[in-house]
Chains A and B, each alone.
Chain A
């Protein structure tokens, strides 16, 4: 026997485990370095950068309009908002105001994109928690949205569908009718997802009280989007700093009360319903007129710094552009991706919970590595 201090009968030690970057549940190439005590998480550290493509640096070498296709690749399930954010920032810098028809069309595209993005979130979130069927239902509807996009601009995922000063294309014939048909049919589908999940006992046990983040912590960490609203803070860029014509449409900002995964789930479902409401109003109010503002062929920036943001499905997506006098490229373009900021709440949200909760929390944060690593 060994001398010295008494040794316990069994050696109990924490297990270090590396989740990802090729783990099936980490939504892309997120890596989590975890210390586990049995099934309990002692510490979880997200390690990012596996998808870094240097987008921000690339912006500096490209003319302003040429940057737009690259914004598609940031949050690749949500191209329209990326385009919109960049265009709005540039329009603010150049002092261009876009025609009302273009603004309304942008809102239609953006809200359709929000639905598509939330559908991907619901699908992956449910699969992570073990319910595989909602995945196929949501992708059925998402496909209809992508069909609408394809008809409009030819692309389904990387849309590249906005220009600084408006939109590149007029709508194809009959597009509005098809869009209206989809908008009318969609609320019934949300109810369908809800029958599978909302009152399901197992779903509730897996999400209620999981991944709690208090309103104070949420604000201190700079969370935006559904993670912030799930904690009961009414903050939506579309309401507080309206862009395009969001001040002309009516919609509510849903908030949660319990700050947990279940509330964030409810918030996102309600957001889908509100998106439908916005879409209905946009389709009704859509004015006639030009879709491009009068802008010079070659854009030359005034000297200055400008920040503008849009409410992407994941939170506040902001662009900060530094421009030089008569420059044709951004001197510096910094993207404020919502996923990147939201991800920093993860270690706190999972600490002390079980491994399975980790999956629920990753799902509820709705991160996309494309915009985290840029």
Chain B
């Protein structure tokens, strides 16, 4: 087979398929993990009927949602109502294109990179695409012709817009430390620095993580779908697969935020504590562990934190949420960028 076809067409295609399957599988089992972990936190058992220990629960859920009647409420804006879930889902999946899951490896003499694209503006790409998802939520909330949905949509619009700014600044602090916008480059920079950026940039990391939780509309910032107030928020009127798309997009977004946290602040696919335990990781017993393992392990930790938060915290009120965003995180993230910039200037010259 001619080299270009292999390199430009076949391998990317296979990678896309593998990536989609893996991401969707993780998302499906993330719902299972959430229910199970939350159950154990709350002295319950969680799903345990479908398959051994409930392992087939996500399959059953998916199947159920597939065969459910796809209802469009009367008085809804039909077209907008139909495409809103897609507008939410597509950006959530597209962002995975630039997430580096591990180091390049060789299969049958061909070098394969475990990421779809290493573009030099990957961070900007993710920030840009992630802001598109909010349109789906607003449009979905508005087109449902339901006051609760509308309020949910408006809340999420206000929330996502105000938390995107401190998040951007927090990301910028990591970018400053790395000196590159490429996701792969940032991980490599942490390899050369011998430090995860989490330690010098602990403030930025904290801000990033808080904003990340808020961006994905998860507890304690889950106002857009605050069950007690707004029934189910923007997706009150959605059923069947359209509802499933909103649901999957939320979990895919959680994965992206976690993956970004891993890449920006926790050394991506590098094993933990590269400077202290370098000798340990070089041991032949441990050296074979692929980078993807470390990446997924760290990502799982952040995903666990999401679920942990949900089991622990009450929900913020809308005005308090805005206060936290604008009065605390925004000035703090600005100060953080200045601090980091100063540090980089002094240390690197």
Contact = CB atoms under 8 A, between A and B. Distances in A.
B44 A358 contact: no
Contacts of B219: 130
B314 A200 contact: yes
Interface residues of B, number: 29
A128 B151 CA distance: 17
Interface in A319-349: none
Interface stretch (B105-113, B247-255, B315-323): B315-323
Interface residues of A, number: 31
B314 A354 contact: no
A275 B38 CA distance: 31
Interface string B311-349: 111111111100000000000000000000000000000
Contacts, number: 82
A223 interface: no
A17 B147 contact: yes
Interface in B186-223: 219-220, 222-223
A25 B314 contact: no
A57 interface: no
A71 to B, nearest CB: 30
Interface in A146-162: none
Contacts of B41: 133
A136 interface: yes
Given A130-B220, A197-B314, A206-B317, A137 B231 contact: no
B43 interface: yes
Nearest to B220: A202
Contacts of A205: 316-317, 320
A355 B147 CA distance: 13
A24 B231 contact: yes
B312 A130 contact: no
A128 B311 contact: no
B313 A24 contact: no
Contacts of A126: 314
Interface in A274-291: none
Nearest to A128: B228
Given A137-B43, A356-B318, A39 B151 contact: yes
Given A24-B228, A136-B44, A130 B318 contact: no
Contact of A200 (B227, B310, B313): B313
The residue in A39, A137, A196, A206 that gathers the most chain B C-beta atoms within 10 A of its C-beta is: A39
Contacts of A132: 38, 42, 310-311
Interface in A91-129: 126-129
Interface of A: 15, 17, 23-25, 39, 126-133, 135-137, 140, 196-197, 200, 202-203, 205-206, 354-359
Given A206-B316, A359-B229, 18 more contacts: A24-B228, A25-B228, A39-B318, A127-B228, A130-B226, A130-B316, A131-B312, A131-B314, A132-B311, A136-B43, A137-B42, A205-B316, A354-B317, A354-B318, A355-B151, A355-B229, A356-B226, A357-B317
10 contacts: A131-B312, A133-B42, A133-B312, A136-B43, A202-B313, A205-B317, A206-B314, A206-B317, A356-B223, A357-B317
